[in-house]
Chains A and B, each alone.
Chain A
Amino acid sequence: MILSTPARWLLRAAAIGVLTFVYVPLLLVLVNSFSSSATFTWPPPSLTLQWWQVAATNEGLRAAVVTSVEVALLATLIAVVIGTLASMALTRYTFFGQEAVSLLVLLPIALPGIVTGIALNTLFTQALGGLTFFTLVAGHATFCIVIVVNNASARLRRMSGTVEEASTDLGATPWTTWWLVTFPALRGALVAGALLAFALSFDEIIVTTFTAGPGLQTLPLWIFQNLFRPNQSPVVNVAAAVLVVISVLPVYLANRLSGDSAGAATK
């Protein structure tokens, strides 16, 4: 595309503005976690690892990180298994009500988190005897599944169905065909979906609030509760820095992966 010089400058300025608005606060959080001052001062008087040490020995924070990782891993695992099956059903078979189901599967991503949260909360407390670690995992799985289904279905739709027919034609059972043909083609999309699902689950707070069992704290919940305690502020900065890294890394990897596999598919 050829743009006039003023238009180019305008676009450049807008891009810089957006990036500044998003990333400067993030950078501040990261730098602050190394600042020797307990309150926010700019520039930091000096740099120290002191708050990271304090954070590392903070029991509540450590437990919250462990819970977050466990929940994200389990929710992702469930999402990958169910999401793969669902996307196979939606793209490789025709059945009554297929369109409706395909919409229903994707709906949780559009629903406000608070609605999902309240609905699940009602279900879990009224019908299933209360909130536990597993209701939290189930809550997270609802939106993680959407990510996996989306990624996997897109790949399956792009992949010609005759490739699987060719495999059965050459003597492979449907099961062997899945392992030797469908799964290898799907693998990249599944890994990317899993990474995104993990990142989503790791920093989720609304559904978490409504589905976490008593006493359970995820990292975002812990940050939220300690945010307004003045003496905790440097440690909160450390927690936020951890949250940023653990959520951004999978997104970056997923992006790299889908970029690679998309390139391979169109080569």
Chain B
Amino acid sequence: MPSVARSVPVTPPQQAGETPAISLRGVRKEFPGGIVAVHDLDLDIAEGEFVTLLGPSGSGKTTVLRLIAGFEQPTAGTVLLRSRDVTAAPPFDRDVHTVFQDYALFPHLSVLRNVEYPLRIAKVPRAERRERALAALATVRLEALGDRSPAALSGGQRQRVALARALVNRPAVLLLDEPLGALDLKLREQMQIELKEIQRTSGITFVFVTHDQDEALTLADRTIVFSEGRVEQAGSAQEVYERPASAFVAGFVGTSNVLAGADARAVLGRDGSWSIRPEKITVTAADHTAPAGWTTAVGVVEELVYTGATTRCVVALEAGGVLSALLLNGGGNDLPTLARGQDVRLSWRPEHEIHLM
């Protein structure tokens, strides 16, 4: 285990010449009935990278995983694993293991025998099999429960068994389909930290599907935002959040704060759609003057949503449009007596105005 925590997640650079762990080339998946789940997808995932696929329900995330695992055949395009063309290869002939959303543990086998299963298939000798399975259970801190039946485990424990079973034979790629979806918030946050740790120490390529933007941004070296079977944007957490490429991404990742059309012209003096993240906006009294060079607009407080650490302040602008500002409840606010109906001035640096395609 690394004792020194890295302060910033390192994005593995897509170096030229290095073969990606996974390559999807023009992959398209059509289901009977004309549903196109994946449109002509081109995607490279580097060796050792932690990638999250983020998108709303029905956007094709599971289908992409199933195409990589081999449960679905693409209608067009090729799937490469470490530059080997596996488009037509069955799932058992791909060095890819999956953590299923419903865990899919074998009900008739004990926890230990579940984890031993892939080693048994790979004809690893009995003694070594046991040793490695116990080691895998230890990494998910379940070594004491090896004799239990999966039915006698809690949801969080089953999740860990599924993870140990998928990792024990060290696949080149681990696919995880909303693996934390069924867990409560505390457990989910704890598992996120453990997953990140396991991924870092094992160096295995992780492809993690989620519809939860916080989860996606927390875990990933790179987040790929999906909508209706297409990639909307791919990039680091920072890129996707700070520089959303489309109105969809701006809305799906973080709070939608978009000025478009007439509102954009009136407030920003520009055409097109623009996004400003709520925490970049400063709220002051209406008669305050904004710092030189900042964009500014006055409006009326419509809504104040107190959420503990922060307050969301929704302001209807005089010039048109609605913007939310996020205020930290730090005690040092200029406006301790913010109230609904109050006139306020919003201001922000122009570089925080993100042009959306």
Which positions in A face B, CB cutoff 8 Å? 159-160, 162-163, 165-173, 176, 180-181, 184-185, 265, 267
**CA distance in complex: A171, B96 (Å):** 9
Q: Which residues of A contact B165 (CB under 8 A)?
A: 170
Q: Are A168 and B90 in contact, with the CB atoms below 8 A?
A: yes
- Most interface-central of A168, A265, A267 (chain B CB within 10 A): A168
Which of B's residues lie within 8 Å of A, judged by CB? 69, 71, 90-92, 96-98, 100, 102, 104-108, 117-118, 120-122, 149, 151-152, 165-166, 169
Q: Please measure, in the bound complex, the distance between the C-alpha atom of A167 and the C-alpha atom of B166, giving whole angstroms.
A: 10
Residue of B whose beta carbon sits closest to that of A162: B104
- Please give, as numbers and ranges, the residues of chain B lying within 8 Å of A172 by CB-CB distance: 92, 117, 121
With a 10 A CB-CB cut-off, give which of B71, B118, B121 has the most chain A CB atoms: B121
CB-CB nearest 9 A-B residue pairs: A166-B104, A170-B118, A162-B104, A171-B121, A168-B91, A184-B108, A172-B121, A168-B92, A169-B98
**B245 CB to closest chain A CB, in angstroms?**
33
Assuming the contacts A170-B117, A171-B122, A172-B92, asked whether A163 and B104 have C-beta atoms less than 8 A apart, the reply is yes
Task: Using known A-B contacts A172-B92, A172-B121, determine if residue A167 contacts B106 with beta carbons closer than 8 Å.
Answer: yes
In Å, the complex CA distance between A171 and B69 comes to 11
What residues of B have a CB within 8 angstroms of the CB of A181 in the complex? 106
- Classify the interface of chain A: helix, strand, loop or mixed: helix
Residue numbers in B under 8 Å from A184 (CB-CB) = 108
In the bound complex, residues from chain A placing their C-beta under 8 Å from that of B152 are 267
**Contact present for A160 and B104 (CB under 8 Å):** yes
Known contacts: A162-B102, A167-B117, A176-B121. The answer to whether A185 contacts B107 by CB under 8 A is yes
Contact A170 B108 (CB under 8 A): no
Q: Which residue on chain A has the smallest CB distance to residue B94?
A: A169
Q: How far is the CB of A153 from chain B (nearest CB, A)?
A: 18
Q: How far is the CB of A123 from chain B (nearest CB, A)?
A: 38
Q: Could you tell me the distance between the alpha carbons of A169 and B98 in the complex, rounded to whole angstroms?
A: 7
Whole-angstrom distance between the alpha carbons of A265 and B97 in the complex?
26
> B151 to chain A: which residues have CB within 8 Å?
267
Q: Assess the A162–B100 pair: CB atoms within 8 A.
A: yes
Given contacts A160-B102, A162-B102, A267-B151, contact A170 B107 (CB under 8 A): no
Alpha-carbon distance A145/B298, docked complex (angstroms): 79
A selection of 20 A-B contacts at a CB cut-off of 8 Å is A159-B107, A165-B91, A166-B98, A166-B100, A166-B105, A166-B106, A167-B117, A168-B91, A168-B92, A169-B96, A170-B97, A170-B118, A171-B118, A171-B121, A172-B92, A172-B121, A180-B117, A180-B120, A184-B108, A267-B151
